[in-house]
Structure 1
């Protein structure tokens, strides 16, 4: 037995109405967190062929693009069609102190993981101070 939920139906209508005419790329949901000396970006890209994913870095701008192509059968009678096809885009401005030359990416179970290491120059280090009598070490830390 079907139940009538006016809020769900209204949400479905507005989403399909406003999203149907959307021409630009869609955003992908993501998480960004730090583990040790690297940042990890995890983006949801279910149903996307990993070959269609493009990641590039231009200066401090990280860009992730992906394309989802939906199967369309002319003989099909659609009962529900909620999955969207098209292009997805996410751009992030990377801060200073990141090693953009060593960024890596992997794709597993619909999740794209991008690892962004912190550069060696940005990591805390000891600076040695010398005096006329003897060398002394002072530890500096960067938060």
Structure 2
């Protein structure tokens, strides 16, 4: 059995994640920025793994509905040190996420702690779930006027 979600936020993030994963595999550079996306009642939180990254090298920008996270990890070695294994990717990392029109791109907040960058994006008021009041009348079919 296959379970799917009808939440448009989750569907959009999954679509973008799949597209970016395909691009990263095609480039074969191995420079990745793993991300978790959480949808809550009032906001969306994105968490990016950036271990060993200097917080001053992290830049979060929003331009025309695209959130971009850029970071740089570098390590210098002494002249007498000889590197014989390199598995940790160094250099620049960039991750782009297309934001839904239901998110407030003007109120984004970001914080970096213990190698994880958390980006909070509030949901616009009109996009939040709301309860619809049901009118009770003797003639319920006449309660709603066309």
Instruction: Report how many residues are paired.
Output: 110
Greater share of helix residues, 1 or 2? Answer: 2
Matched, 1:55 2:60: yes
Matched, 1:28 2:33: yes
Scaled by the length of structure 1, what TM-score is found?
A: 0.67
Contact 2:31 2:89 (8 Å CA) reproduced: no
Contiguous gaps of at least 5 residues in structure 1: 1-17, 129-137, 139-143
Query: CA offsets, 1:11-47, max 9 Å, x none?
Result: xxxxxxx96xx4xx93301111112211110000000
Query: CA offsets, 1:39-65, max 9 Å, x none?
Result: 110000000011100100012110000
Alpha-carbon distance in 2 for matches of 1:94, 1:62? 7
CA RMSD in angstroms, aligned pairs only: 2.7
Scaled by the length of structure 2, what TM-score is found?
A: 0.66
Residue 31 of structure 1: SS of its match in structure 2?
strand
Greater share of strand residues, 1 or 2? Answer: 1
Contiguous gaps of at least 5 residues in structure 2: 1-26, 134-143
Alpha-carbon distance in 2 for matches of 1:31, 1:124? 22
